[in-house]
Structure 1
Amino acid sequence: MTGAAAELDDETVKKVIRQVRFPLPKVSSTEFYFSDCNLPRDKFPRKTIHESDDGLVSLALICSFTRMRGHLCLGNVKADEIPEDTVKVVADALRKSTALKISDDGMKVGRIAELVKAEDVIEQVDTRTISVSPLEYDVKLEDIEFFFCQFAKVNSVRLPRHVTDKKLFCGTALVEFSSQEEAESILKKSLVYSGAELELKTKKAF
């Protein structure tokens, strides 16, 4: 089993923070496991936080998530198989984030700001989210993010799955921007991606 190095390089530190960070309201960010845009809809991390006495989540659990395993060059390991030194290295990286708090022993992480009522967050997020299609079925989340970052600050990108086959991307991405105004400005643009003219709609229309 491959573990993380004694220290993470700068690029990996950025990826780890971007992946795990719990952003404060109006902080530009990508799709994070426990972000304001993701947490209200993601039952597992929300349940984990609510069941915690101190609102903190095991860093070993976070490290076992698929994208984090990729950033850390870990194999297909479970939370209880994550090396302790890997957890400590990740904790050191996350201390660089102003939106996170790390437990004294470096084993857990949590939000600095409490999440407001889930329904209210979802409503706010939807007003600054647009649907984007048509997209190739093998499109990468990072590529969509990079494309729209040319025009506005992107909070997150989602690639919803097909209704009848959850393994397949439905061909429409949901892109959340940092404000409703930015989302509305994007809707007015004529954009071409990968040779196709994009159809841009509000999240409500999607």
Structure 2
Amino acid sequence: MADNNAGETTSDHSKILKQVEFYFSDNNLPYDKFLWTESKKNDGWIPIKTIHSFKRMQIFQPFEEVVAALKESPQLLEVSEDGLQVRRKEEIKIPSPEEGKERLERTVYAKGFGEEKPTSQVEIEAYFGKFGEMNQVRMRRTDDGTFKSSVFAEFKNAEDAKKFVEQEKAVFEDNELLVMSKQAYVEMKSEQHNFADKNGRRKPRFNAFKQMKADEYKSKSRYGRGKGRGGNQRGRGGNKRRAEDEPASKKQRTDDTPEVEGTTETKDAEPKDAAPKEAEPKEATETKPETTESK
């Protein structure tokens, strides 16, 4: 993040809160690899001193005022009792396809902002703010951190984004900008095959939502068949132990004890004093056989 005017400080609570709530917002946190990783270390808590060390936070002094401002967050944030850490009150949720589409419609691409200055982020945000309420303005950078002179700007509503793109001429500090919807930009670059490295592969940008979906899929794959369609059975028909034949201790373990990753309940040894298993009565073979999916 770019710094604001060097040497100037403020303790304005509204400005402090606006900046930190942006860091923890749905629009930033899932795409900020550092912050996302830090938030996963301690149940979502991140040291406020870590947040205060960011370049754009340096103008907010003293530290005690930063803590006081964060305690005023109406909905998004909460501060630990010792006043040293901050986190979101609610966890990030994976957006629905419809929400993703709406966000794309609210976002525009603009290029022509020149070389980066310490105040570029603030000035570009102020520029877009003239056209409507904004969710975020993300300065695009190369792999080495160099500003590309272009941004993705997300408006609060799609109508303002459309008006910005359709204006006759967009000018920033006497420089005419190239503007288009983000959807148009993505389609243009896809056609040009410029979303790839020299080997034809695109370097993926960090996206926590993809990671969350992958974890969710793994969880379903691991446990999804365990209690349905024979996934937790001991074979087919005649080999299946009936509930009434289960030892009492086994029933309680199955009902009340959470499954521990890496173990399998069905492999537990039988109690030492348990009687040898008897063959299933003949009528058990008349039960409806399991489907082949239970294999």
Q: TM-score, normalised by structure 2?
A: 0.52
Describe the shift of the 1:117–1:106 C-alpha distance in structure 2 as closer, same or farther (beyond 3 A): same
Q: Which residue of 2 aligns with 1:90?
A: 66
Q: Secondary structure at the match of 2:113?
A: coil
Identical pairs, percent: 30
| CA distance 1:63–1:9, change in 2 (3 Å) | closer
State whether structure 2 residue 40 is matched by structure 1 residue 46.
no
Asked if the contact 2:116–2:149 (Cα under 8 Å) also holds between the matched residues in 1, the reply is no
Report the counterpart of residue 5 of structure 1 in structure 2.
Answer: none
CA distance in 2, matches of 1:105, 1:62: 16
User: Residues 107-135 of structure 1: CA distance to partner in whole angstroms, max 9, x if unpaired?
Assistant: 11111232111786766543321111112
Quote how far apart the aligned CAs of 1:44 are. Answer: 1.5
Partner of 1:136: 114
CA contact (8 A) 1:153 1:178 kept: yes
Contact 1:17 1:93 in 2 (8 A): yes
Alpha-carbon offset, residue 152 of structure 1? 0.4
Question: Which one has the bigger helix percentage?
Answer: 2
Equivalence for 2:166: 188
CA distance in 2, matches of 1:15, 1:196: 29
Q: Taking structure 1 as the reference length, what is the TM-score of the superposition?
A: 0.72
Q: Which residue does 1:111 correspond to in 2?
A: 88
CA RMSD of the aligned region, Å? 2.5
Residue number among 102, 115, 135 corresponding to 1:155 in the alignment: 135
Tell me which of 53, 58, 67 is aligned to 1:69: 58
Residue number in structure 1 paired with 2:27? 37
CA contact (8 A) 1:57 1:110 kept: yes
Aligned to 1:82: none
What is aligned with 2:225?
Answer: none
Instruction: Spell out, residue by residue over 1:6-27, the C-alpha distance to the aligned partner (whole angstroms, 9 max, x if none).
Output: xx9553x233212211xxxxxx
The one-letter amino acid of 1:179's match is: N
Quick check: 168-177 or 61-70, which moved more?
Answer: 61-70
Q: Which amino acid aligns with 2:85?
A: K
Contact 2:29–2:36 (8 Å) recurs in 1: yes
Equivalent residues of 1:102, 1:108 under 8 A apart? yes
